[in-house]
Amino acid sequence: MVQIEGLGPLVATHPFFADMDGSALETIVGCCANEVFRTGSYLYRQGEAADKFYLIRDGLVTLEAYVPGRPPIAIETVEAGEIIGWSWLVKPYKWSNDARASGTVRAVSVDGACLRRKMEADRVLGYEIYKRFLPVMARRLAQNRERIVELATEPAGFD
């Protein structure tokens, strides 16, 4: 946890926390850290403890599925202005995919264990966080359902 005072504006200006109440923001900033990931490095790996989520400031993060006996498959990207990671909110708090930096990624990480404790103690804060996470999760779910429909209806080609 370095440069806590410098993180405030980074967190406050990220679209995910747009219009967040000032004192709530202060509480959250207390759980944040600034991070940089080099191309190809992992933000997290499937099965590991999910103790963070990331506000992506710059760059593209690729979610990959590990496939035994084959190279991993890249299945979704998340980009600057978005967040990645919600396994810290849902038991058993383990990552269900790999997340890798596709190019240099600058992000603010939020300590999930720390934030969980604060949300438990402050239900108003907890509600506020859920209100921001749920639409993101719902949209990604919807977009991925659309992709299933598209893959099932668009011909794959004949040869």
Partner 1 sequence: MDGYPKGNAVGAPVDPMIPRPFRITKVKSEVPGVFSWHLVPVDGGGFAYRPGQFNMLYLFGVGEVAISISGDCRDGEKIVHTIRIAGSVTKAMSSLSVGDVIGVRGPFGRPWPVEPIYGSDLVFVTGTIGLAPLRPLIYEVLHQRDKFGRVIICYGSRGTDDILYEDELHLWRGRFDTNVHVTVHSAPSGYRGRIGSVAAAVRAAHIEGGDTQAFVCRSEVMTKPAVDALHERGVSSERIWVTLERNMKCGIGLCGHCQFGPTFMCRDGPVYRFDEIEHLFEIREL
- Residue 158 CB: number of other CB atoms within 10 A? 4
We find the least distance from the C-beta atom of residue 19 to partner 1, in angstroms, to be: 17
We find the least distance from the C-beta atom of residue 25 to partner 1, in angstroms, to be: 25
Q: Which is nearer to partner 1, 2 or 152 (CB)?
A: 152
Residue 146 backbone dihedrals phi, psi, to 5 degrees: -60, -40
Q: How many Å apart are CA 96 and CA 87, to the nearest integer?
A: 8
Q: Which is nearer to partner 1, 117 or 139 (CB)?
A: 139
Q: Which is nearer to partner 1, 66 or 127 (CB)?
A: 66
Decide: 125 and 24 in contact? Cβ < 8 Å: yes
Q: Which is nearer to partner 1, 36 or 142 (CB)?
A: 142
Q: Could you say which DSSP state residue 96 is in?
A: S
3-state secondary structure at position 20? coil
Q: How many Å apart are CA 11 and CA 128, to the nearest integer?
A: 15
Interface positions with partner 1 (CB under 8 A): 40, 60, 62-64, 71-77, 79, 81-82, 100, 102-103, 142-144, 146-147, 149-151, 153-159
Q: Which is nearer to partner 1, 4 or 73 (CB)?
A: 73
Q: How many Å apart are CA 61 and CA 54, to the nearest integer?
A: 10
We find the least distance from the C-beta atom of residue 80 to partner 1, in angstroms, to be: 9
We find the least distance from the C-beta atom of residue 64 to partner 1, in angstroms, to be: 6
Q: How many Å apart are CA 88 and CA 104, to the nearest integer?
A: 24
We find the least distance from the C-beta atom of residue 67 to partner 1, in angstroms, to be: 9
